[in-house]
């Protein structure tokens, strides 16, 4: 027989003998008669809706809407916390058709409710924004092994000396690794701070550089103009005509001087 | 020219400026030149008192021939000489005058520089005046939109306040620094300024103020999600729980180590006072939270 056949057969048998299923009948009746179950169901649905609102609040951009949602969540939480004593009283009451175990589980459920209600994020514990906390939480909680240590059941696991040693070495190495990572993280923090400061310093110097740029441009253009004017003046002064006249006059003077020198020598 | 006796130069210059029968207009131009030479000569000979006077007169001369830039420069030299001589009120006067002259030229940066120099000169002897000068310098820069340059001034002013143990003033100044940093998008400096303010409030053992300050600063998104904001949150929660070890542990690593060393010293001294008092105040607050509004 294949699995599918087995399943269909089981379904048919279950349907046939449904009327003998006490638990199911009880469940159908219970939701009608049992006040505890009704109240519990309503509290449960309130918690669910509050959680949904909390999710909406965390993804909402409009801060006013976030504040309003958080206020609503807080109101719901307070109301639910008030209902818990009622639930506890109902849980202890004996209802026909319920076993003793069920009663115990009911009181457990009720005691678990306050924790569930408190854990609904309403923005008051983390200062109206949970972004920072979750980020820090994930940063400090890096885990490399998925199993939590020490959950080894003594029935299924017997420790030999070797495995003990191995575990110790593993712990030591993990500690050393953690220390090394701490050192690295400190160094990175310092680097980050320095980088930020450098960034700001550069931002500060950008307008100064612009000023320098424009001033130097002005200075170079002034210099160019001056150079051109200087060139014009110098060429005027040293034009070839004046130059030749200077040389000729100089030769004449030298000639006269030489003539006089000769005359005087004689 | 430099070999001439500065005294003679001064006398000559004075003659040029004094109005008398024969002279109807003071010849400031020549007089200024002579005053400058005399001042340089005196400084060379280390006669500070006379050099200072010469610089003052030279500056006045420059003002008269309407060149405020040179006048301001001479004022600054006179002020530095006054600092060496120890005439502290003159120092502050001269630097203020120099700064005004720079502002006349329309150059705000040298104006605030002059005030900053004056403030650092007066830090030891007259810290109140020094702080006033620092704040004026910051205002000059902020008017001109050059807040970036004001950071150093804010830092110096804050350390002076802390030395004077005027912690509320220091915290207020830090918040002003935060505003200036915000205007020029210097997020890191802004967050550091806010964290420093919170630490100062905690040092003053004023937990309510610190809490309020943190709430105000959280309005700024950048601070909330920054390292500094996280550290502030942890610090405040550690204070709420009264956990001394936690506070000491938090004060060790960065980002507190990246703050100004004056603030680091304060942070190392945390927690001050009795944490039990804070716990009592906290109980009142938790009751209010249960009250539905």
pLDDT tens sequence across A49-76? 888 888 887 777 666 677 677 777 777 7
In angstroms, the CA B153 to CA B156 distance is 5
A143 pLDDT more than 70: no
Please say whether the beta carbons of B220 and B204 come within 8 A: no
Please say whether the beta carbons of A105 and B270 come within 8 A: no
The pLDDT assigned to A95 comes to: 64
Alpha helices of chain B — where are they, by DSSP H?
6-17, 28-44, 48-64, 68-85, 88-105, 108-122, 127-143, 150-164, 167-183, 187-203, 207-218, 221-224, 227-241, 244-251, 261-269, 275-290
In angstroms, the CA B9 to CA B25 distance is 19
Residues of B in contact with A133 (CB under 8 A): 233
What does the mean pLDDT of chain A come to? 79
Contact check, Cβ <8 Å, A186/B253: yes
The pLDDT assigned to A127 comes to: 41
Contact check, Cβ <8 Å, B188/A197: yes
Which chain B residue lies closest to A135 (C-alpha atoms)? B225
Q: Which of B186, B189, B254 sits opposite A189 (nearest CB)?
A: B254
Interface with A, mutate which of B186, B221, B289 (most A CBs under 10 A): B186
Please tell me the pTM assigned to this model.
0.57
H helix or E strand, kind and range, residue A26: helix A22-33
Highest mean pLDDT among A19-33, A99-113, A231-245: A231-245
Q: Which range, of A91-95, A104-108, A177-181, B78-82, averages the lowest pLDDT? A: A91-95
Q: Which of B186, B254, B292 sits opposite A200 (nearest CB)?
A: B186
A177 pLDDT more than 90: yes
Which chain A residue lies closest to B185 (C-alpha atoms)? A200
pLDDT in tens, chain B (293 residues): 445 677 887 888 787 777 766 767 777 788 888 888 888 888 888 888 888 888 888 888 888 888 888 888 888 888 888 888 888 888 888 888 888 888 888 888 888 888 888 888 888 888 888 888 888 888 888 888 777 778 888 888 888 888 888 888 888 888 888 888 888 888 888 888 888 888 888 887 777 888 888 887 777 777 777 878 888 888 888 878 877 777 777 777 667 778 888 888 887 777 665 554 555 444 444 444 555 65
Peptide bond into B255 cis (omega under 30): yes
A142 pLDDT more than 90: no
For chain A, say whether B287 makes contact (Cβ under 8 Å): no
Residues of B in contact with A200 (CB under 8 A): 148, 186, 188-189
A228 pLDDT more than 90: yes
For chain A, say whether B144 makes contact (Cβ under 8 Å): no
Interface with A, mutate which of B144, B183, B237, B254 (most A CBs under 10 A): B254
Contact check, Cβ <8 Å, B225/A186: no
The pLDDT assigned to A172 comes to: 95
Residues of B in contact with A128 (CB under 8 A): 218
Which chain B residue lies closest to A128 (C-alpha atoms)? B218
- Both tokens assigned to A30: 């219970």
In angstroms, the CA A76 to CA A66 distance is 15
Contact check, Cβ <8 Å, A189/B149: no
Phi, psi of A121 (to 5 degrees): -75, 125
The pLDDT assigned to A171 comes to: 94
For chain A, say whether B127 makes contact (Cβ under 8 Å): no
In angstroms, the CA A28 to CA A122 distance is 35
The pLDDT assigned to A140 comes to: 57
Contact check, Cβ <8 Å, B189/A74: no
A110 pLDDT more than 80: no
Write the DSSP string, A75-100: HHHHHHHHHHHHHHHHHHS--TT--H
The band of A93, judged by pLDDT with boundaries at 50, 70 and 90, is confident
């Amino acid at each position: 027989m294949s699995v599918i056949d087995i399943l269909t057969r089981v379904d048919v048998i279950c349907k046939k003998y449904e009327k003998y299923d006490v638990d199911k009948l009880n469940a159908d009746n219970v939701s009608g008669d049992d006040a505890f179950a009704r109240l519990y169901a309503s509290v449960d649905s309130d918690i669910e809706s509050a959680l949904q609102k909390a999710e909406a609040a965390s993804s909402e951009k409009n801060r006013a809407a976030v504040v309003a949602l958080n206020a609503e969540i807080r109101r719901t939480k307070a109301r639910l916390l008030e209902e818990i004593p009622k639930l506890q009283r109902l849980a202890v009451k004996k209802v026909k058709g319920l076993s003793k175990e069920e009663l115990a589980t009911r009181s457990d459920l009720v005691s678990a409710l306050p924790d569930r209600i408190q854990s609904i994020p309403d923005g008051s514990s983390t200062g109206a924004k949970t972004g920072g906390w979750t980020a820090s939480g994930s940063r400090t909680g890096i885990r490399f092994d998925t199993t939590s240590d020490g959950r080894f059941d003594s029935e299924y696991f017997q420790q030999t000396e070797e495995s003990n040693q191995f575990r110790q070495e593993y712990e030591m190495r993990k500690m050393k690794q953690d220390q090394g990572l701490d050192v690295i993280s400190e160094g990175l923090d310092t680097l980050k701070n320095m980088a930020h400061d450098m960034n700001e310093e550069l931002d500060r110097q950008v307008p100064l550089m612009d000023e320098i740029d424009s001033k130097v441009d002005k200075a170079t253009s002034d210099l160019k103009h001056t150079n051109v004017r200087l060139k014009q003046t110098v060429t005027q002064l040293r034009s070839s005509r004046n130059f030749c006249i200077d040389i000729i006059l100089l030769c004449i003077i030298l000639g006269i001087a030489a003539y006089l020198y000769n005359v005087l020598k004689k | 020219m430099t070999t001439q006796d500065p005294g003679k130069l001064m006398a000559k210059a004075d003659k040029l400026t004094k109005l008398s029968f024969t002279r109807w207009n003071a010849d400031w131009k020549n007089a200024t030149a002579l005053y400058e030479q005399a001042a340089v000569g005196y400084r060379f000979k280390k006669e500070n008192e006379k050099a200072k006077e010469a610089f003052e007169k030279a500056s006045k001369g420059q003002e008269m021939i309407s060149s405020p830039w040179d006048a301001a420069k001479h004022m600054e030299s006179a002020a530095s000489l006054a600092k060496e001589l120890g005439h502290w009120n003159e120092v502050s006067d001269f630097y203020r005058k120099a700064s005004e002259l720079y502002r006349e030229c329309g150059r705000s940066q040298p104006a605030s520089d002059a005030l900053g120099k004056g403030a650092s000169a007066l830090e030891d002897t007259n810290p109140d005046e020094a702080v006033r000068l620092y704040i004026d310098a910051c205002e000059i820069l902020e008017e001109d939109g050059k807040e970036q340059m004001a950071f150093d001034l804010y830092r110096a002013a804050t350390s002076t306040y802390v030395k004077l143990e005027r912690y509320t003033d220091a915290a207020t100044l830090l918040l002003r620094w935060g505003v200036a940093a915000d205007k020029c998008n210097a997020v890191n400096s802004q967050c550091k300024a806010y964290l420093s303010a919170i630490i100062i409030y905690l040092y003053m053992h004023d937990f309510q103020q610190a809490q309020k300050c943190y709430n105000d600063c959280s309005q700024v998104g950048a601070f909330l999600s920054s390292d500094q904001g996280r550290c502030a949150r942890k610090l405040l929660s550690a204070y709420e729980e009264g956990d001394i070890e936690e506070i000491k542990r938090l004060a060790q690593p960065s980002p507190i180590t990246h703050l100004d060393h004056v603030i680091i010293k304060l942070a190392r001294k945390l927690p001050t006072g009795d944490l039990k008092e804070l716990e009592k105040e906290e109980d009142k607050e938790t009751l209010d939270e249960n009250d539905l509004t």
